[in-house]
Amino acid sequence: MRNRWGVWIGAAAVAVWALAAAPAEAAKIGIKLGHIRADTSPTHKAAVRFAELVGQKTSGDVEIKVFPNSQLGGILDMFTGMKAGSLEMVYGGINTYGFIKGGEVFQITAVPFLYRDYDHMRQVLTSHVFQTHLQAAEKATGVRVIAINGDTAPRELTTRDKPVRTAADFKGLKIRIAESAMVRAAMQKLGANPQVIPFADLYMALKQGVVDAQENGVIPIKNMSFYEVQKYFMPTHYIRDVETFFIGAEKWKGLDPAQQKALREAAEEAGNLETRLTTQELEEATKFLSTKMTIVEPDLGSIRSALEGVYEEQFEGKLWPKGLLQQVREFK
């Protein structure tokens, strides 16, 4: 019995040694990615492509699950989740980074009439001009930016009775705006009368003449049939945004260099896809609106000139450092 017991112990030891010597299979890393757009949007399609690419580039070691349409909460809820570790990633506009404490500098991304076009906005945000601000915001918020890439529909202007060709045409215009101190300041500087009206009530407000004008992207203008109660369409592109891949800073630190590289590369490819899809959607919607409305090309130079100084007076040195606004304007 003693001999047989000794043999049994020896066999067990060999088995344990063999298991220890075998390479352990790495545990898969699961990442939840949330966004606020519909599952038919370019944002969702880009997010799904991001998940596919990450899976390919990491040989399945990192698995991304996408939650569209605010399934994980509004944008502020999701930022809180990233910081707390209950949610790993968000794909949303860089404008939203300015919503959270520590990211206020990024409110400069929503300054009206500041960015010449999408390329200007993206290039300045990914340049040396914003590198220190990105680093400081990550430290302060616990949220890291992986990639700033993916065009979104800029906000445009429509009016009921008269077109807006120059800055002077804003005078006396009753215009619906979303709640924004910077937009209110801009419209008041131009002589308009800005009013905050819930989006759900906007069609009736336009129809009944509560306001004469509104500012939204071409997709909601088309989908909400605003063209039925508005005559003129001005492609001002006056507020832009760039979809951005955000990740909890601690989650990022837990990824190895190869995995981080995979996420960065996938984010760039997915953002390029969103830009292509958005461009296509904007072209189709604008073509449709051209059959329903009179399109007027405004003199944006006159508008920018009329707004000189308004943002510096009210926001510079408070939301963003002095001089940053001019750096953005002059960026080539």
User: Residue 6: its pLDDT value, please?
Assistant: 44
> Letter for the amino acid at 151?
D
Q: At a CB cut-off of 8 Å and minimum separation 6, what does 65 contact? A: 30, 31, 32, 33, 51
Q: Determine the Cα–Cα distance for residues 127 and 178; give it in Å rounded to an integer.
A: 30
Q: What pLDDT was estimated at residue 234?
A: 98
Which runs of E-coded beta strand occur in 254-313?
294-295
Please state the three-class secondary structure of 136-148 as a single string. Answer: HHHHHHCEEEEEE
- Between CA 124 and CA 114 the distance in angstroms is 12
Answer whether 299's CB lies under 8 Å from 166's CB.
Answer: yes
Q: Distance (Å, rounded) from C-alpha 89 to C-alpha 144?
A: 9
Which amino acid, one-letter code, is at 140?
A: A
Residues 277-291 pLDDT 10s? 999 999 999 999 999
Q: For 136-192, how does the pLDDT look when each residue is reduced to its tens digit (9 = 90+)?
A: 999 999 999 999 999 999 999 999 999 999 999 999 999 999 889 999 999 999 999
How do strand 232-239 and strand 155-159 relate by DSSP bridges? antiparallel
pLDDT given for residue 17 in this prediction: 36
Mean pLDDT, contiguous 10-residue spans, the chain (332 residues): 44 39 63 95 97 98 97 95 94 95 96 96 97 97 97 96 97 95 96 96 97 95 96 97 97 97 98 97 96 97 96 94 95 92
User: What is the pairing mode between strands 242-248 and 143-151?
Assistant: antiparallel
Which pLDDT value is given to residue 146?
98
Q: What is the pLDDT of residue 95?
A: 95
Where exactly are the structural domains of the chain? 29-152+240-290, 155-239+292-330
Return the axis-axis angle of helices 257-290 and 42-57, rounded to nearest 10°. Answer: 160
Map residue 110 onto helix, strand or coil: helix
Assess contact for 271 and 41: CB atoms under 8 A.
no
Classify residue 1 as exposed, middle or buried by CB count within 10 Å of its CB (0-12, 13-18, 19+): exposed
Residue 4 token pair: 């047989």
**CA-to-CA distance for 141 and 250, rounded, in angstroms?**
11
Task: Report yes or no: 108 and 255 within 8 Å, Cβ to Cβ.
Answer: no
pLDDT at 201: 95
d(CA 141, CA 105): 12
Partner residues linked to 33 by β-bridges:
66, 89
Long-range contacts of 306-309 (CB under 8 A, 24+ apart): 306/167, 306/189, 306/190, 307/112, 307/113, 307/167, 307/186, 307/189, 307/190
CATH 2.40.50.100 fits 29-152+240-290, yes or no: no
Question: What is the four-CA torsion angle of 144, 148, 149, 155, rounded to 10 degrees?
Answer: 120
Whether residue 233 contacts residue 164, with contact meaning beta carbons closer than 8 Å, is answered with: no
Q: How many residues belong to the chain?
A: 332
Q: Six-digit token pair at 7?
A: 């043999």
Assess whether the region 29-152+240-290 and the region 155-239+292-330 belong to the same CATH fold.
yes
Please tell me the CATH code under which domain 155-239+292-330 is placed. 3.40.190.170
The confidence score (pLDDT) of residue 27 equals 74
